[in-house]
Amino acid sequence: MGQRLRSVLAASMFAALPAVCLADDAPASDAPSKVAATRQELKEQLEGSKQSRPRLPLPPPTEEELAEAKARGAAAKARPGSGGMGGGIVNNGRLRQIHIDPALLGDRNGGSREPDPAMTVDNTFKTMLFWIVSRANNCTYCQGHQEVKLAGDGVKEDTIAALDGDWSEFTPAERAAFVFTRKLTFEPNALTDADVDRMRQHYKDLQILEIIMTVSGNNGTNRWTGPLAIPQEKHRVFLTPTAEKYKSLRSLVAPLDPNATGMVCAKPASRGELESREQVEKALDAARKRTPRLPLADDAQARSVLPADWSGSGPAPQWARLLGNFPKGGKRLADAFARVETKGKLSPVLKSKIAWVGARQDRAWYALGHAKRRLNDLGLSDDQVFALDQPDFASPPAEQAALALVRKITVDPALVTDADVEAVRKHYSDSETAEVVYLATQAASFDRLTEAAGLRLEN
């Protein structure tokens, strides 16, 4: 990559970000994980993540789990396109199954993963996008999984290393998707028509939608595994040889201060102060009049991806029409989004407040309009809804702690600490705490999907 392009990447990524980091003598519980700056440091960090202490209980696997994992591992190795993944003990899935209400997880808790015939983007390429998202969010657990999967798919070590910012060997189409992926990850609030139009130079509309779905989901997954400090599985191998050209090349994807040296904490995002109530109401009104950037399926296709017990009246919502373009992949995602509203242990009011807080931080106007409707339907006035934007809004300490964690997960997942999660555990059970995190992850995914597609707000 030329020096000019590297400079542009650095400037666009870090402009207006404040320099904030904890003191070296801060308590360990108040310190976020540092960010590996180079390829060699990343491999060492991934190896070290095997010793990560999870922020929610993760007991050792039982003999029955080990036997089941062994069988899954054998099946995964024989499955084409798996990259050797999908079998063995997977700590991410175990933590979900231990702590999340099965009714909330639904198909995410081990359901079918049949390929969708309408999806045409190469799976290995989508794994590269997941790698970039994970690097951007400093999610070592997901990063490790994508490293292993790419290697299993036959991607060379130097190619994986080049994903960290030296994109000269990739095609113009791949580079366009990498830039789009990084922006949708770091700045979903800043995505514009022009960003989607640049993608159209290389991809069809449904391929762009598939990429948006992939990257949005990746951002959700990162916000589960990273903030909960889920440990990497011990059998994975990361300390492989690194080419000299990549040993000291500093990442242009990770959330690093370009002026810092060595491993430092992530640079906080800066999306500016929240807009005033008047500005939000104008943004919601504008969202009611806009034309979606991507094609929507008809009402019948949309209803075919919605759960059988979907209770919405009238035409299917635009988010369901968007997902209706993909009969299998869309149905899995629609099921997850619908369950977020109706299943689980937390109260409907708290669940809706989490959706509001996430959408406000992401400036996701379609998602915000839906969260506002839910809160209004539950009896909250507009004054009470907008009061959630104030840091000292009148609310019980438990809710304050939960929503503070949601804000941080939404904007700065790489800066979540033990203390942030413990503040929630003081008021909620481990399962309820896990649900707070899970709802924040689903909000991050829904926000990116619906806002990148520019959906028109129905209400």
Over residues 160-196, the pLDDT tens digits come to: 999 998 999 899 999 999 999 999 999 999 999 999 9
Residue 122 has pLDDT above 80, yes or no: yes
Identify which of 445, 429, 1 has the alpha carbon closest to the alpha carbon of residue 216: 445
Residue 441 has pLDDT above 50, yes or no: yes
Q: Lowest-confidence range among 1-10, 144-153, 259-268?
A: 1-10
Q: Give the angle 64-65-68 at the CA atoms, nearest 5°.
A: 90
Element (H or E) spanning 265, and its range? Answer: strand 264-265
68 contacts: CB under 8 Å, gap ≥ 6: none
Q: What are phi and psi of 188, to 5 degrees?
A: -60, -25
- Identify whether the C-beta of residue 436 lies closer than 8 Å to the C-beta of residue 354: yes
What is the arithmetic mean of pLDDT over 107-130? 82
- Average pLDDT over the chain, rounded to whole? 89
pLDDT for 107:
64
Residue 124 has pLDDT above 90, yes or no: yes
Confidence of residue 24 (pLDDT cuts 50, 70, 90): very low
Instruction: Report how far residue 273's alpha carbon sits from residue 276's, in angstroms, rounded to the nearest whole number.
Output: 9
Instruction: Report how far residue 32's alpha carbon sits from residue 264's, in angstroms, rounded to the nearest whole number.
Output: 10
Give the gyration radius of the chain's Cα atoms.
21
Q: Give the angle 139-144-148 at the CA atoms, nearest 5°.
A: 150
pLDDT for 108:
55
pLDDT for 210:
98
pLDDT for 79:
55
Q: Lowest-confidence range among 81-90, 113-122, 139-148?
A: 81-90
- Identify whether the C-beta of residue 42 lies closer than 8 Å to the C-beta of residue 242: no
Residue 277 has pLDDT above 80, yes or no: yes
Instruction: Report how far residue 71's alpha carbon sits from residue 68's, in angstroms, rounded to the nearest whole number.
Output: 5
Over residues 351-397, the pLDDT tens digits come to: 999 999 999 999 999 999 999 999 999 999 999 999 999 877 778 99
Buried b (16+ CB within 10 A) or exposed e, 297-307: beeebbbbbbb
Question: CA dist 127 to 2, 112, 441, Å?
Answer: 25, 19, 19
pTM for the model: 0.90
What DSSP letter does each residue of 206-226 carry, written as one string? HHHHHHHHHHHHHHHHHHHHT
- Identify whether the C-beta of residue 338 lies closer than 8 Å to the C-beta of residue 306: yes
Instruction: Report how far residue 362's alpha carbon sits from residue 122's, in angstroms, rounded to the nearest whole number.
Output: 28
pLDDT for 257:
83
Residue 1 has pLDDT above 50, yes or no: no
pLDDT for 309:
80
Residue 306 gets which letter from DSSP? S
Over residues 217-244, the pLDDT tens digits come to: 999 999 999 999 999 999 999 999 999 9
123 contacts: CB under 8 Å, gap ≥ 6: 81, 153
Q: What 3-state DSSP class applies to 381?
A: coil
Q: What 3-state DSSP class applies to 114?
A: coil
Q: Give the angle 18-409-213 at the CA atoms, nearest 5°.
A: 105
Confidence of residue 28 (pLDDT cuts 50, 70, 90): low
Confidence of residue 9 (pLDDT cuts 50, 70, 90): very low
- Identify whether the C-beta of residue 323 lies closer than 8 Å to the C-beta of residue 334: yes
- Using CA of residue 204, residue 205, residue 210, residue 213, what is the dihedral sign? positive
What is the arithmetic mean of pLDDT over 36-65? 93
Over residues 82-106, the pLDDT tens digits come to: 555 555 789 999 999 999 999 999 8
- Identify whether the C-beta of residue 205 lies closer than 8 Å to the C-beta of residue 287: no
Q: What is the dihedral of CA 44, 179, 327, 141, to 10 degrees?
A: 10
Over residues 410-431, the pLDDT tens digits come to: 999 999 999 999 999 999 999 9
